Structure 1
Amino acid sequence: MTDLDLLDRLLGRHLADGRGEATAYVDAEGRIGYAELYRAVRWYAARLAAAGIPPGSPGLVVADDAIPTVVAILALWWRGMVAVPVSPLLTVAELEFLAADCRARYLHLDARAAAATPAQGALDVPRGGPDWAAPVEFAPPPPAAPPPAEVVLIQYTSGSTGVPKGVLHTGSGIAAVLDGFGRILDLAPDDRVLSTAKLSFGYGFGNSLLFPLAAGASAVLNPGPPDVYAVGAAVDRHRPTVLCAVPRIYAALLDRAGAPERADLGSLRLAVSAGEHLPAAVCADFTRTFGVPLINGLGATEVLHIVVATRGTEPGSTGTAVPGARVTVRDDDGREVPDGTEGRLHVGGASVAAGYLDRPEAAARTFVAGGAYTGDVVRRGPDGRIGYVCRRDDLLNIGGFKVSPFEIEATARDVPGLAQCAVVGSRDARGLEQAVAYVVPADGADREEVRGAARAAFRRGLPPHKRPVAVEVVDELPTTSTGKLARYRLRAAPVPTPRDPAAAGSAEAAEPAAGEAGRSGPGGA
């Protein structure tokens, strides 16, 4: 598949079908139809050519979600360049690192990023902005047509820690995503998609650019942080038919379901969850409360988008491989494990990236055996369905036991007055790993009562070695710019003083004490 084929699939064929006036996007400034979008992309590409920026050059796109951001990405492809969308929330030092790492030859900046990004170091390259989509009097260049295996997109990821890595995606990989999860999503021209994940991330890039354009549908581009209030306002204003969000957004929508100012989700025919673990209770409660099927998906930047998904609401399941993806569960030596055994998720198929940019050692660890490890620990059932355990980096090793933080968090899910709970591993003074729970009280709840109730729930529902040694009450949990829980920030917090000495912090706690088994009262630990 060439870039010409890709642009034709996303734009040209809709004009040929007489749908040029159909809405492609709406954002905070207005709307744009397919014909107008096509013209804007050509004009932007003409300016890139006039500036002498050669095909094959990386172009860094530093902008919030808006129509000009989409125009810039498509124009880079028209010119035969490599699009590198990154978050506008990055610091100048971070942007300079990324620009140097990918050897950017051009910068697209929205107004906010332009004011905050000096032309220094690797950022001292030709730059443009939304005005580059204005009409030109000279002829645009013909669209580029690189071979299918050529890199057309770089998305940066660093996991929870470490130096950012540029993930290399090809035209054929993008086509595989459209033919993979795109078939499950099954958008139609009358669909309108709203994504809380941004264009600068793989999940949002597919939700807001690839899938809607390929289907001739429309998408809502919502600037600013993806909190529940902004999502509710966007739903009420734009009436999307498909919502793509992270689990925390769905949990927050449920929390506000009884509030007078709750969002009206009546326009939705479908919701999609990805980006982090979707608790079974949230999945079931969302569909029961709002009557909207909720697809649970799992993906990674290294495979561009969702590669494992349910085919509707299946609480507790992550589903099966999407069309074109090959999914296996493997041990640390790369051997496939029997059904029901925890292991590393390995994905094969055309959507797997071509590797990391200039990171041969990291690529050798991730891209192996004709596919890629996503970094997730899962187990496969006899029916082929994948059950999520946790991220490999999040798995706790307590007294020789492998413990998923989600198992601990689930124990406190029904604690009165508790709005959110997150469990991470930290090291005690001896360097031993221990579980620490961070809880957020609901509005009006007493902080110490919530702490005590959470500790009691852990004592009732968990064996001693799985119990958090401390329960910390916080006003809110840290999140990434996509709304996902930033566990790495909790892990980096100062180690709290243990408040439950019989829990996971000591070697003795790995086995129940005499009389401990079956104890369910508050004195159990």
Structure 2
Amino acid sequence: MNPATGTANPVELLLLGHAGGRRCGVDRRIGEVTYADMRGAVTEYAGRLRAAGVRPGCRAVAVSDDCIAAITAVLGLWWHGCVPIVLHPTLRPADIGFIVRDSEAEFAELNVAPEQAAGLRAELSEIDAERRAAGRVGLLTELGPVPAGQSTLPPAGFRETDELLVQYTSGSTGRPRGVRHCLRAVRAILRGVGSMLELTADDVVLSTAKLSFGYGFGNSLLHPYAAGASSVLLDGQADAYSVAAALDEFRPTVLFSVPRLYAGLLNLAEQGKAIETGSLRLAVATGEHLPAELATRIAVAFNVPLINGFGATEALHTVVAAVVGRGRATGPGSIGFPVPGVTATIRDDAGRPVGDEIPGRLHLTTESAALGYLNRPEDTARVFADGGVYTGDIAFRAAGGDICHVGRADDMLLLGGYKIAPAEIERVVRGVAEVADCAVVGSTDPTGLEQATVYVVAREPAHPDEARKAVKSALRAALAPYKRPSRVEIIDQLPVTANGKLARFRLRRQPGGPVGSPEGRT
């Protein structure tokens, strides 16, 4: 902190002051990296940004899977005074292009596979040409070497409420919205849920959630680096097999994951595969609803405390949580209690608090609340209101004081930690020639976890298999893997209410084949 200017840099909080010889991270591409190594890489990266003419204060996109290079880019951008936006390479070039345009990013770090690079570079080159033709600042995608002396410059200063980080999340229409975070929010989550994690320099953290999402960004960067701990960075798609292998190889002490991956690990164990959990001291499950029965199975099988957490991108990280089986009792559907520094209330449509056991809109008052949405004044006014932030969830406060989740107010799906708008999936399906109509809803699989099902009315009812095949093909071509529904069901017609609106609640009660059945799996 610079007392003369009232500014600070998050790198000072996350990187400086830790023993240089201790490991800060590891990935399969380059192996282990110490805090001294990272400090050198970050200041060098910042020097390259300066030498290339990247403007301090601008927004910058980093397209990368989880790896040491992604962490270096984020910290280097912060050191230089930029605002990073981390995006995952599974996004289509057009989706990344939309975010680059929407955020007016002036630099893009591309850490992608060669087969992805060509299409992405073409998209970004088009954006660069558009801007230059309009007499605006272009889009830089390459950095040169660092000149002598450029890597020893001091870090830039951020005020507590300066824009520090932008994370994109889907809106109810499927159009991504940039959530603007600040340094105050980072400090708040480290004091809040961080006090429950109690990380130390001896911890090794493994997160299956990606850096490109709020949960993963906190798990793999903010929390471990603030504690001087070590972060294991996994690239590629996380599934039960890859997580089991990582547990065995890296022996983490803290595992952050989502309920469906924990369920997958339990299934592997029941099939006879040894799951190495002896190194763990804590497990954390956030990102989607954790059924009580599954929570108990996880806690018993892993034999460690299990934190069931609830978070929102608009509040940066976990804001409501409980340790399963310990502390204050929680009832069915409970997501726990507000973490330190957070006040949670349930409000009606007019913003007035309601009594216990009455469902309403979940409202949070916390210093980790974002500054608002980027270029979305109406959404910002609606969501960031009444002295806090509305999460878009319907919940109620139980008699014991814990918060019980009822569902999403906007029908958003929460699958494996990712927020997905049904409208985004429906637009793809409606573009299929063999489809007359469709609707996407969330339902639960046999373990109680949420899944997405797309119900399709075939244009030719006599040929349902052709419609199903065409829909699956379109979903694979147009959507990232985590956005694809688990099941495609062909039905005669969509249910509607008396006034002709789609009755999604009736679809949720539709009988369907088991999850993973050949005819339903995409």
Same fold? TM cut 0.5: yes
Residue 346 (structure 2) pairs with residue 329 (structure 1): yes
Alignment partners' CA distance in 2, 1:256 and 1:160 = 35
AA of the residue aligned to 1:328: T
CA distance in 1, matches of 2:156, 2:270: 52
Specify the alignment match of 1:215 in structure 2: 227
Does the aligned pair in 2 maintain the 1:232–1:263 contact within 8 Å?
yes
Q: 1:121 is paired with a residue of what secondary structure? A: helix
Aligned residue number for residue 393 of structure 1: 410
Residue of structure 1 in register with 2:417 after alignment: none
Alignment partners' CA distance in 2, 1:185 and 1:291: 17
Residues 318 and 386 in structure 1, CA contact (< 8 A), matched pair in contact too: yes
The residue that corresponds to 1:400 in the other structure is none
Match of residue 365 from structure 1: 382
**Separation in structure 1 between the aligned mates of residue 341 and residue 169 of structure 2, nearest angstrom:** 24
CA deviations 1:282-337 (Å, max 9, x no partner) are 10011112212211111111111000011344674311111111110111221111
Q: Which residue is equivalent to 1:147?
A: 159
- Matched residue type, 1:117: L
Aligned equivalent of 2:491, options 496, 515, 522: 496
The one-letter amino acid of 1:292's match is V
SS in 1 for 2:344: strand
Preserved CA contact (<8 Å) 1:349 1:371: yes
1:264 deviates by 1.2
* Counterpart pick for 2:148 among 128, 137, 148: 137
- Mapped contact 2:189–2:368 kept (Cα < 8 A): yes
CA contact (8 A) 2:240 2:264 kept: yes
Q: Deviations over 1:153-187 (max 9, x none)?
A: 00001146421100000111111111111111110
Say if 2:452 and 2:485, in contact at 8 Å, map to a contact too: no
Question: CA, structure 1 residues 137+381, in 2 after alignment: closer, same or farther (shift >3 Å)?
Answer: same
Contact 1:85 1:200 in 2 (8 A): yes
Instruction: Give yes or no for contact 2:289–2:450 (8 Å, CA) kept in 1.
Output: no
Give the deviation of 1:254 after TM superposition. Answer: 1.2
Q: Name the aligned partner's letter for residue 138 of structure 1.
A: G
Aligned to 1:55: 56
Alpha carbons 1:394, 1:424 under 8 Å: kept: no
Deviates more, 1:317-326 or 1:54-63: 317-326
Mapping for residues 92-131 of structure 1, pairs under 5 Å: 92-112=93-113, 114-118=117-121, 119-122=124-127, 125-128=139-142
CA apart distance, 1:339: 0.7
Partner secondary structure for residue 204 of structure 1 = helix
Total equivalences in the alignment: 431
1:259 to 240, 247, 271: 271
Matches within 5 A, 1:56-455: 56-112=57-113, 114-118=117-121, 119-122=124-127, 125-128=139-142, 137-140=148-151, 141-159=153-171, 161-313=173-325, 316=332, 317-394=334-411, 409=444, 413=447, 422=451
Structure 1 residues 44 and 289: alpha-carbon distance in aligned structure 2, compared to 1, 3 A threshold? same
Q: Note the aligned Cα RMSD (angstroms).
A: 3.1
Q: Where does residue 24 of structure 2 map in the other structure?
A: 24
* TM-score scaled by length of structure 1: 0.75
Alpha-carbon distance, 1:370 to partner: 1.1
Q: Deviations over 1:450-509 (max 9, x none)?
A: xxxxxxxxxxxxxxxxxxxxxxxx9xx99x9796xx5x8479x56524899xxxx99xx9
Q: Measure the CA separation in 1 of the matches of 2:92 and 2:454.
A: 28
Separation of aligned partners in 1, 2:486 and 2:382: 26
Alpha-carbon distance in 2 for matches of 1:3, 1:297:
32
Answer yes or no: is the 8 Å Cα contact 1:310–1:319 preserved in 2.
yes
SS at match of 1:46: helix
Post-superposition Cα deviations, 1:119-162, rounded to whole Å, max 9, x if no partner, equal: 42325622247xx7x87633322210121110010000114642
Alpha-carbon distance change, 69 to 284 in structure 1, aligned in 2, over 3 angstroms: same
- CA deviation after TM superposition for structure 1 residue 115, in Å: 4.4
Structure 2 length as normaliser, TM-score? 0.76
Amino acid at match of 1:320: F
Q: 1:34 to 1:242 in 2, by over 3 A?
A: same
- Summarize the Cα distance change of 1:239–1:149 in structure 2 as closer, same or farther, 3 Å threshold: same
Change over 3 Å in CA distance of 1:139–1:75 after alignment to 2 = same
Q: Verify the 8 A CA contact 2:214 2:313 in the aligned structure 1.
A: yes
1:436 maps to: none
- Give percent identity, aligned residues only: 43
Q: Following TM superposition, by how much is the alpha carbon of 1:56 offset from its aligned partner in structure 2, in angstroms?
A: 0.7
Describe the shift of the 1:495–1:328 C-alpha distance in structure 2 as closer, same or farther (beyond 3 A): farther
* C-alpha distance in structure 2 between counterparts of 1:379 and 1:319, whole Å: 11
Q: CA deviation at 1:409?
A: 3.8
| Pairwise CA distance, 1:269 | 0.8
Q: Distance in 2 between matches of 1:352 and 1:255?
A: 37
Which residue matches 1:9?
13
Unaligned runs of 5+ in 1: 397-404, 415-419, 430-473, 510-525
In structure 1, distance between residues paired with 2:494 and 2:376 = 43
Change (3 A) 1:185 1:377: same
In 2, Cα distance between the equivalents of 1:249 and 1:374? 24
Structure 2 gap segments, 5+ residues each: 130-138, 414-440, 459-471, 496-501, 507-522
Change (3 A) 1:135 1:425: closer
Between the aligned partners of 2:386 and 2:50, the Cα distance in structure 1 is: 40
Name the SS for the 1:45 alignment partner: helix
CA distance in 2, matches of 1:362, 1:499: 30
The 2-side partners of 1:81 and 1:5 are apart by 11
Separation in structure 1 between the aligned mates of residue 457 and residue 398 of structure 2, nearest angstrom:
36
Confirm or deny: 8 A CA contact 2:220 2:231 kept in the other structure.
Answer: yes
**Conserved? CA contact 1:57–1:104, under 8 Å:** yes
Q: Specify whether residues 331 and 319 from structure 1 end up closer, same or farther in structure 2 by C-alpha distance, changes over 3 A only.
A: same
Distance in 1, matches of 2:283 and 2:188, equals 22
SS where residue 341 of structure 2 aligns? coil
Distance 1:385 1:224, change over 3 A: same
How far residue 375 of structure 1 moved from its aligned partner, in angstroms, is 1.2
Shift of 1:5: 4.5
Distance in 1 between the 2:252 and 2:455 partners?
Answer: 41
Three-state SS of the structure 2 residue aligned to 1:318 is: strand
> 1:197–1:482: 8 Å Cα contact kept in structure 2?
no
The Cα shift of 1:395 comes to: 9.0
| Change in 2 beyond 3 A, CA 1:481/1:322 | farther
- TM-aligned CA distance change 1:225 to 1:413, over 3 Å: closer
| Aligned-partner SS, 2:350 | coil
SS in 2 for 1:302: helix
* Partners of 1:226 and 1:482 within 8 A in 2: no
Q: Could you report, residue by residue, the CA deviation over 1:419-465 in whole angstroms, capped at 9, with x for unpaired residues?
A: x7747696999xxxxxxxxxxxxxxxxxxxxxxxxxxxxxxxxxxxx
